[in-house]
Amino acid sequence: MPEQRISRWYFGGIASCGAACCTHPLDLIKVLLQTQQEVKTRMVGMAVHVVRSDGVLALYSGLSAAVCRQLTYSMTRFAIYETVRDMMGSGTNRPMPFYQKVLLAAFGGLVGGFVGTPADMVNVRMQNDVKLPSELRRNYAHALDGLFRVWREEGMRKLFSGATMASSRGALVTVGQLSCYDQAKQLVVGTGVMTDNIVTHFLASLIAGGCATILCQPLDVLKTRLMNSKGEYGGVVHCLLDTAKLGPKAFYKGLVPAGIRLIPQTVLTFMFLEQLRAHFGIRVIPST
């Protein structure tokens, strides 16, 4: 049988960083749309407003925090999911059942979401700065500066503001991305029509990106509002009720830009990951 390769534990984090660098402007627009109290500006209008107000580089506000988030959140969830999956599949040629993939992805996403909460919060704040008046901006120099200032000025607990929502979202998006990608790839290859190649990776990641977007959007809206708050919310329930006053559509505010951001990010992440695995992965000789 031909030689196979498996990922190293940190490949998911590296691949996610590469994808985040490509899709960051879309993520920034999504955050700005979600933090509107009323729908005043659409996606294109928001992008034009940001460029006119602060220049093209403003579309990359908070990039350092986005990379920091991927190095904590995504590296953790990928490491847990892929390490356990490969250990359970070692010595056998049978893939894990889908329900086990879902449970493992949910656990990895919960842990990764919690670990990545501080960087995620700083990321949201840095992105949201571009739409605030200059006197209200936090003006974090970079991700580490933001983390230090939040810890010094607001306390350690504030660093984990919205951790419950971030962990819940992390579980849902990881189920949508990792388990659905594995299952879609398995089904596509299982048809015998296509092999494990770049076209298969693209199709499977496209399906995974769509699943992740639909699953996590309501929690993504709540998480963004909690992290960007200045004390106006007493907790998750308060934020939920306040958002509900705006109607059911408020929970899917920014769905189109979220999909436009998350689907390409998912595709790029897995395309990068598969290339890292193919060229630098650990060699495994399948048992006969």
- Tell me which of 7-21, 65-79, 117-131, 185-199 is least confident: 117-131
pLDDT at 131 over 90: no
- Tell me which of 18-22, 95-99, 176-180, 184-188 is least confident: 95-99
What ranges make up the beta strands (E) of the chain? 4-6, 282-284
**Which residues touch 261 (CB under 8 Å, ≥6 apart)?**
23, 26, 27, 29, 30
- With beta carbons less than 8 A apart as the criterion, state whether 201 and 270 touch: yes
What's this model's pTM, rounded to 2 decimal places? 0.82
The string of pLDDT tens digits covering residues 180-208 is 999 999 999 988 888 899 999 999 999 99
The string of pLDDT tens digits covering residues 234-288 is 777 888 888 888 887 788 776 776 788 789 999 999 999 999 999 998 887 665 5
- With beta carbons less than 8 A apart as the criterion, state whether 138 and 129 touch: yes
Domains, the chain, with CATH or none: 4-280 (1.50.40.10)
